[in-house]
């Protein structure tokens, strides 16, 4: 008898001072509806809180929504903290208002994917479904 694989566990969060959470809640629901386990951290999280929660919850990926303009600083800090905690196998992806040149730089730094306003929800779900479980 085959053993069913565990669903992907995804942490979804809002980092920094950005208080717009409608889109991130939509993504969290879409991922849950697609069979994933979703941990939503809520608004105004620090990178440290997000990474600590991700490790405690044993997630496979972190998805961040950043609309405040601080995307370069915040994504890079999360990557740095994952590296410091030997948790770089937790994939980082996200969305927000991110200029083309910043998308290229952040993906070169290790962010797996960045989605901008208007990205089809199914595109995000398909990307996340394609991630490998960590560990």
Q: How many residues are there in the chain?
A: 135
Calpha distance 76→95 (Å, rounded): 14
The pLDDT value recorded for residue 135 is 67
The residues spanned by each domain of the chain are 9-129
Adjacent-strand bridge partners of 15: 45
pTM of the model: 0.94
Q: Regarding the domain delimited by 9-129, which CATH topology (the fold level of the hierarchy) does it fall under? A: Rossmann fold (3.40.50)
Give the percent of the chain with pLDDT over 90.
82
Given pLDDT bands bounded at 50, 70 and 90, which one contains residue 29?
A: very high
- Among the ranges given (13-17, 47-51, 107-111, 128-132), the one the predictor scored with the smallest mean pLDDT: 13-17
């Amino acid at each position: 008898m085959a053993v069913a694989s565990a669903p992907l566990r995804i942490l979804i969060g809002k980092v920094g001072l950005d208080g717009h959470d409608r889109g991130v809640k939509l993504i969290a629901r879409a991922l849950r509806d697609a069979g994933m386990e979703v941990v939503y951290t809520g608004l105004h999280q620090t990178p440290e809180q997000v990474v600590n929660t991700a490790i405690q919850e044993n997630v496979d990926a972190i998805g961040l929504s950043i609309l405040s303009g601080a995307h370069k600083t915040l994504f890079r800090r999360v990557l740095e903290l994952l590296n410091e905690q030997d948790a770089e196998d937790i994939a980082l992806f996200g969305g927000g208002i991110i200029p083309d040149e910043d998308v290229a730089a952040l993906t070169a730094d290790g962010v797996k994917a960045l989605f901008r306003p208007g990205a089809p929800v199914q595109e995000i779900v398909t990307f996340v479904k394609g991630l490998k479980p960590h560990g």
